[in-house]
Structure 1
Amino acid sequence: MRGAFFWANIDKIMLLAFVGTFVSSLVVGLLVFAAESVLTLPGGHPGFSLAEALTFGALISATDPVATLAIFEQLNVDPHVFNIVFGESVLNDVVSIVLFHTFANCIHHTDGNIGSTMATAVMNFAFIFAGSSMVGFFLGCCSALLFKHVRLSTQAVEHGPKLELAVFLIFCYAPFLLAECLGLSGIVAILFTGTAMKRYTFNNLSLAAKQTVETFVSLLAHVAETLIFIDLGTSAWQTFRASLALVIWIFLSCLVARAAHVYPIGWLLNASRPAYPRSRFETPDMHMVWFAGLRGAIAYALSSQFPGPHRRCVMSITMWMVLSSVWILGGATVPVLKWLGIRRMESEQLKQLSLTLEPAVNRLRLVHWDRKYMLPFLVRNVAELTCESVEMQENYSEEAAGAESARSGIRMGLVTSHRQPHVAPGDALLSTLPEADDDAVDEAE
């Protein structure tokens, strides 16, 4: 994920991840709660209570579009769409986890009043999310200061990068323990710790330690996700504790819930005046973001923690929701990309477009604060990062000057005659880039 594209679409990502996930949880939960005639549970159990329905809505709203993102990367899909889907999925998981635990706490502490239940959930969500994020970010910054002022690689030469890796991993896990001890969310704390450590701590490591950390953390991520899907696959052979009508109803509810927030948020963003130059949220892009709402490991892991007598039923429903979304939505990603006409580009074009977005991104207050205050305070060799960025910008400027006349005659991507988007700085270059060959799509299929 290139930082320029992430920050250029930060408004879309934040609204989809926070507002969108909350809306999705409510819509799914209320649809499940309202359809008691369809949701007849096996074994004579009564239907879901309101708190149980909202808890299920929160866990099933956790998206995990791994298959979609893999196809996006293979086909060099428009980086704006890629980063919207990726950024939303990362933050969406965190919001879903906090909402899940918030609603779960209301299952045994509800008076049946919808307003009271929702007010309690909102207050708990705000407290847990704010507290967890502060704990995680604070410890991440502490790790950056430690590696900045203590050169572990020179003080323990005989250990090589292993000592740096060990201390790095301790700081990765410590926020989880601290947050859980404080009654907060350890997973949310880890997310913000990881963000801070990637931005600041990682740049203070030795070269050997950087390579070791990247390899080891990537290995851990793949192993963890593989184990969850192994558990998911073996669970598919267990007794199915829900009706087919129940699964179909919830699958359709998830599609409706995703549409209920993706399109209104997109229309709202397009109607508002942006605080900084950005691309419009075009209708085909909205369709693709809506279609990329696959369910995955996070939803299934949360279902195993569902409180109450309906846990086995919820696990069965979630398992089939994950499998169905991966098979149906993931398998149809390539044809949908072709049908919607989503733009694609090569790596060199991606690099050039990223550099054109830098001036606009640098004007963001958060980015400005980070580069002016946080980086000098937490990173040892800020000058090296700055020089590298300046060198890339100068190289691009020289190349762009010679290629400007050639690019001016290229037609606009896949934009049709009836679609007249607002072109922001940086998107002008994107719209003039040539399309990737359709053979790449055929090979992917």
Structure 2
Amino acid sequence: MWLHLQMRKAWKKLPAILTSLLVACAAFVASAPSDVELDEKAKVNHRLDSLNILLYTILLSLTVLTIWSFKHRRIRFLHETGLAVIYGLIVGAIIRYSYTSSEVSHLSVIPASGSGSQGGLNLTVPPDSLWLLLKKGPATLPKNKTYAYVFKGEISDSESKQIEQKATFDPEIFFNILLPPIIFNAGYSLKRKYFFRNLGTIFTLAFIGTTVSSVVIGAVLYGFVQVFGTSSEFSFLDTFYFGALISATDPVTILAIFNDLHVDVNLYALVFGESVLNDAVAIVLSSAIQNYGEKFSGENSGGFNFAAFSQSIGVFAWTFSSSFAIGGAMGCATAMLTKFTHVRDFPLLETALFVLMSYSTFLIAEVADLTGIVAVLFCGICQAHYTYNNLSRDSRLRTKQLFELLNFLAENFIFCYIGVSMFTFPKHHFDTVFIFAAFVAIIVGRAANVYPLSFLLNLGRKNKISWNFQHVLFFSGLRGAIAFALAIRNTLSEARQTLLTTTSVIVIVTVIVCGGSTTQLLSWFNIPVGVDDEAECMQIHMRSMYTPLDGNPKPDGSSADPYVEGGPPKPQDKALLARWWQNFDGRYMKPLLTHSRPTLLETMPVFCTPIARLLTTTEQLTQERVEPINTLSGDPTFAHFEGQDVRRLFP
């Protein structure tokens, strides 16, 4: 009886249920075409993204194979970065002139009056996002739909194709993903022995030299623009901003050839050390100039504001020093973690912690509105100097090889992208007059950096920087990844678009031409090659070890290397700052952050014994005393005496 009543109730509700099902089916059928089209559009975008990544993967693969072929045949007239640029140019031209897909669809809209989140639209600043409302209709949509579009920038070519747009990356990818491993590896692979030996010279060339170069380039360009005029309007700040960003050198091509030929380690240290710090200085300097322009130039109608200039100098000093402090602190924190924990028993976890702590250094500095590149550079130096000693043997090998690989891939990807973007980037603006003036300006700026400062440095140096070394330093001012990344970050105005195009042309020309002529340059200037690094490291090198590139020894038996004259380097040959730091580092920093001897119990005052004991590990107390000797690669080896066993240092 109960079942019969339930069936009668259900039968009465059946018409309503069928009506609801019919309405739902009708709505589904009406919306199906739009959903199918959206799915198809998503598939097309996915295929284009995959094609874009595939293109760059093929470019990198071709670069690797060509590098192997060149190394196998000992060909040095073209470096891997030059190859990457050339391959990128070829692929960019193919994309630009041979791809025949349909163009990107566009919908032109005009903002309604009174729109915007605050009740009105600020026409001087574009909104962060755009909401497109499509209303329902019998022939269009079954219901209202709203789509959100994110701001990407001002368009310059409405006829651009999808593949061209996909081949162009967000500039933030360079700063947040590609540059950190490059800069970190520069610090992590630093040959610290020779870096600190030439610390004063490197600091002078990097800090004072980069500033001089920026000012000279900016002044020359501004004068050229005022006298001859250009197709774009450049302000005083535009030319000085360009002077700062283009002063970032990237002699990766020359350094690779130096390494292959075993060029004098002191010359290598000067070129490498100056370029590493030079990048950091150029980034902070360009940021300070941009900060001056954004905050203060409008207050004085574009004129010079001394108070604003002084404040910008303060911002420069604060940004650099704070970024340096963050990088050093994170490096020391990682060293403490690896010293006082047993994470080394699990090499995979140890390596993961090392990588995450290193990358977080960059992010912390960026979040604090500082410069992550500077922070990650000094973090890399600290990691190599302290943390590396605490790592297990597996983690040492993994971290070295991992960052070498990331550096290789990131650097060659950037140079490939520079070549591709010459044809696909929509905001290039070619100004032949300005490009020519820029080449003249960077030559004058580099000369004003190297030669006068070398003369002043030689007044106080016992080991003089020879003219041949100065010529190589001048020639090593190639432009590369840092300059391009700074230029592509802001291309809103026509002047900034011209700066990007000029920077790209300068990078391509200097990498291909200057990088390809490095070997011949070394021969012209009789730069010593074939230097025995181990003998140099052990300070038993002889003049006969130095051979010019042409293979002909000096007739008088002397060496072309100015550092060899007078015998092996002595402690007093080091810079005063380097000697002071070496003493402080050996007595306090290394015993605190590593397992090295002497311990803090031996070096700190007696009243600090409780703290010293807390900061000293059992491994430090039980091991025999060893003396660290840094090899050329910066990795510590250990000399043991009286048959002492140090195998436990290398688990």
Report the more deviating stretch, 364-373 or 301-310.
301-310
**How far off is 1:37 after superposition?**
4.9
User: Where do 1:232-247 residues align within 5 Å?
Assistant: 232-238=418-424, 241-247=429-435
Alignment of 1:322 onto 2:322: no
- Cα distance in 2 for partners of 1:333, 1:217 equals 26
Contact 1:104 1:307 in 2 (8 A): no
Determine helix, strand or coil for the equivalent of 1:295.
Answer: coil
Per-residue CA deviation, residues 305-324 of structure 1 (Å, 9 max, x unaligned), is: 13650332211111000011
**How far off is 1:163 after superposition?**
0.6
Instruction: State the partner residue of 1:96.
Output: 282
Instruction: State the partner residue of 1:387.
Output: 627
Instruction: State the partner residue of 1:157.
Output: none
Instruction: State the partner residue of 1:205.
Output: 391
User: Where do 1:95-114 residues align within 5 Å?
Assistant: 95-109=281-295, 110=297, 111=300, 112-114=302-304
Instruction: State the partner residue of 2:264.
Output: 78
Aligned with residue 218 of structure 2, among 19, 24, 29: 29
Contact 1:5 1:357 in 2 (8 A): no
Aligned with residue 451 of structure 2, among 263, 283, 287: 263
State the 4+ residue runs in structure 1 displaced beyond 6 angstroms: 390-395
Change (3 A) 1:69 1:210: same
TM value normalised by structure 2: 0.56
Determine helix, strand or coil for the equivalent of 1:235.
Answer: helix
1:312 counterpart letter in structure 2? Q
Instruction: State the partner residue of 1:376.
Output: 591
Per-residue CA deviation, residues 382-431 of structure 1 (Å, 9 max, x unaligned), is: 47894353998899xxxxxxxxxxxxxxxxxxxxxxxxxxxxxxxxxxxx
Change (3 A) 1:130 1:352: same
Instruction: State the partner residue of 2:331.
Output: 140
Per-residue CA deviation, residues 337-365 of structure 1 (Å, 9 max, x unaligned), is: 11212122332543344884364449700
Change (3 A) 1:39 1:62: farther
Q: Which runs of 5+ in 1 are unaligned?
A: 155-159, 396-445
**How far off is 1:185 after superposition?**
0.9
TM value normalised by structure 1: 0.80
Per-residue CA deviation, residues 42-99 of structure 1 (Å, 9 max, x unaligned), is: 4xx42x2122211111110000001111111222212111110000000000000101
Change (3 A) 1:297 1:330: same
**Greater helix share, structure number:** 1
Instruction: State the partner residue of 1:219.
Output: 405
RMSD: 2.5
Contact 1:176 1:186 in 2 (8 A): yes
Alignment of 1:333 onto 2:545: no
Determine helix, strand or coil for the equivalent of 1:293.
Answer: coil
Alignment of 1:4 onto 2:193: yes
Q: Which has the larger radius of gyration?
A: 2
Instruction: State the partner residue of 2:476.
Output: 292
- Report 1 or 2 for greater relative contact order, CA contacts < 8 Å, sequence distance ≥ 6: 1
2:497 counterpart letter in structure 1? R
- Cα distance in 2 for partners of 1:331, 1:170 equals 37
Per-residue CA deviation, residues 132-157 of structure 1 (Å, 9 max, x unaligned), is: 11111112111111110001133xxx
Report the more deviating stretch, 249-258 or 310-319.
310-319
- Cα distance in 2 for partners of 1:24, 1:341 equals 27
- Identical positions, percent: 34
**How far off is 1:296 after superposition?**
0.5
Contact 1:143 1:201 in 2 (8 A): yes
Aligned with residue 366 of structure 1, among 573, 581, 596: 581
Q: Which runs of 5+ in 2 are unaligned?
A: 1-189, 542-567, 598-622, 631-636, 642-651
- Cα distance in 2 for partners of 1:188, 1:65 equals 18
Determine helix, strand or coil for the equivalent of 1:107.
Answer: helix
Determine helix, strand or coil for the equivalent of 1:389.
Answer: strand
Count of matched residue pairs:
383
Contact 1:175 1:186 in 2 (8 A): yes
Alignment of 1:194 onto 2:380: yes
Aligned with residue 529 of structure 2, among 344, 352, 361: 344
Contact 1:132 1:188 in 2 (8 A): yes
Report the more deviating stretch, 49-58 or 328-337.
328-337
